[in-house]
Amino acid sequence: MATLFTTALVAEAPTRSPIPPDRPGDAIDALIADIVRPEPRPGAGTEVVQMSAAQSSSRTRLAVARSLVPRERPDNLVRRSTVQRTGMAAPSREAQRVTRAGSICGVPAIKGVPLQSIPGRIRGCGVENPVKVTSVSGIPLSQYPTIDCPTAKALNTWVSDTVIPSVGRLGGGVGEVHVIAHYACRTRNNQRGAKISEHGRGRAVDVAGIILKNGVELSVLDHWRHPQHGKVMQAMWRGACGPFGTVLGPNSDRFHKNHFHLDTARYRSGSYCR
């Protein structure tokens, strides 16, 4: 009996699943899709495109015409960036540029005054176009030597290229060059019968030492063989051989135990350095 009932139920089952009725929303969407949209007016699309292109072109030209011109870089741009990066101001152009005020011999770093030609009281002495030098490469001289321009240039080169680097930061750096002799109409080492010294021609200067910025003096007499500062003095002596034609120091003779004799005499064999 149970078997017959089950068979009857299977025989009466539908061959297709029923399709569910549309949800209300689907009908609304279909209705909206069927609404007729108004057609654009004739030519409206073309005019809109042309107008947009014209407006875009005019706006572009106007934008270019009104573009801001970048300002010129300020002179202190490097200083500003340095301060922002390191907190320290870079030297200004004015500080880096060596002023020509008071310069002589055509070299901005050599300061002094030109003098009238000096006639010699004995034959072989005298200086044409002498100058009185007050400082070289920013370093003042203890005495203002009267010399000629070639000697002034050699002194400037020696101080800038040798003295300042050799001393470095010792005692705060170079404060002054201790000059003890320059122009004098005399014989070599003041010896009777000797040749006229280069001092008598304005071509020589004698340097006894370097005064540091802290007031301490490095002297040829006291520091030539000093265990610490002897290397500095000897480096200055070596560096003078080149800018000057003659360089005499403590190792040359008894007359130069306390100073460097520097002159611009030239020899075929080159500089004479002792």
pLDDT band at 4; cut points 50, 70, 90: very low
Q: Does 71 fall in a domain? A: no
CA dihedral 159, 160, 163, 164 (to 10 degrees): 130
Backbone angles phi and psi of 170, in degrees to 5: -60, 125
pLDDT of residue 142: 97
Q: How many domains does the chain have?
A: 1
Mean pLDDT of 16-30: 54
Nearest one of 109, 120, 106 to 203, comparing CA atoms: 120
Which pTM does this prediction carry? 0.64
Provide the 10 A C-beta neighbour count for residue 265: 15
Q: Where are the alpha helices (DSSP H) in 34-71?
A: 44-65
Q: Does 32 fall in a domain? A: no
Which of the residue ranges 89-98, 161-170, 247-256 has the most confident prediction, judged by mean pLDDT? 161-170
pLDDT of residue 192: 78
CA–CA separation, 139 vs 29, rounded Å?
97
CA–CA separation, 137 vs 158, rounded Å?
10
Residue 143 contacts residue 209 (beta carbons within 8 Å) = no
226 vs 253, higher pLDDT: 226
Mean pLDDT of 199-209: 96
CA distances from 28 to 25, 125, 228 (A): 5, 124, 104
pLDDT of residue 51: 47
Residue 96 has pLDDT above 60, yes or no: no
Residue 261 has pLDDT above 60, yes or no: yes
pLDDT band at 76; cut points 50, 70, 90: very low
Residue 199 contacts residue 209 (beta carbons within 8 Å) = no
Task: Report the 3 state secondary structure along 105-144.
Answer: CCEEEEEEEECCCEECCCCCCEECCCEEEEEECCEEECCC
pLDDT of residue 190: 77
Residue-number span of the structural domain to which 110 is assigned: 102-273
* pLDDT tens column, 209-234: 999 999 999 999 999 999 999 999 99
> Poorest-confidence range of 77-81, 131-135, 136-140, 184-188?
77-81
Q: Does 182 fall in a domain? A: yes
Residue 14 has pLDDT above 70, yes or no: no
191 vs 33, higher pLDDT: 191
pLDDT of residue 273: 92
257 vs 11, higher pLDDT: 257
* pLDDT tens column, 139-156: 999 999 999 999 999 999
CA–CA separation, 179 vs 145, rounded Å?
8
Q: Does 78 fall in a domain? A: no
Mean pLDDT of 45-62: 49
pLDDT of residue 24: 53
Q: Does 198 fall in a domain? A: yes
Residue 114 has pLDDT above 80, yes or no: yes
Q: Does 66 fall in a domain? A: no
Mean pLDDT of 8-29: 52
Q: Does 76 fall in a domain? A: no
Residue 259 has pLDDT above 60, yes or no: yes
Q: Does 268 fall in a domain? A: yes
pLDDT of residue 253: 87
Q: Which residues contact 79 (CB under 8 A, 6 or more apart)?
A: 89, 90, 92
Residue 174 has pLDDT above 70, yes or no: yes
